[in-house]
Amino acid sequence: MINKLYVGNLAYSIRDEDLQQHFAEFGPVTSAKVMMDRDSGRSKGFGFVEMGSGEAAQAAIRGMHGKTIDGRALVVNEARPREERSGGFGGGGGQRRGGY
């Protein structure tokens, strides 16, 4: 059973500690992380919570999905595995051959 949850539509004022406190009522929280923008230092509006057990994770989904916190209705579901990204430079390249 999956223990890691995606939490979306977070108010920008929510921090890691707030997230942990809200989810702790459903069971032990292993970790709670609000994703922050690297450049601005501002919340991206989503985060991840890892619960101590699959049962606690399911209880948290039932209890927190749709719950309004700081004026925003949360979206809570099982986190999907992170997708691999490509290398970044977009391939191609190659040298032109030919004379002048």
What are the tokens at 95?
A: 């040298």
User: Which residues make beta-bridge pairs with 4?
Assistant: 50
Question: For the chain, how far is it from start to end, CA to CA, in angstroms?
Answer: 65
Domain edges within the chain: 4-70
What are the tokens at 10?
A: 């977070």
pLDDT score, position 1 = 66
Would you place residue 83 in the very low, low, confident or very high pLDDT band (cuts 50, 70, 90)? confident
> Model pTM?
0.80
Q: What CATH class has 4-70? A: alpha beta
Amino acid at 57: A
pLDDT score, position 9 = 98
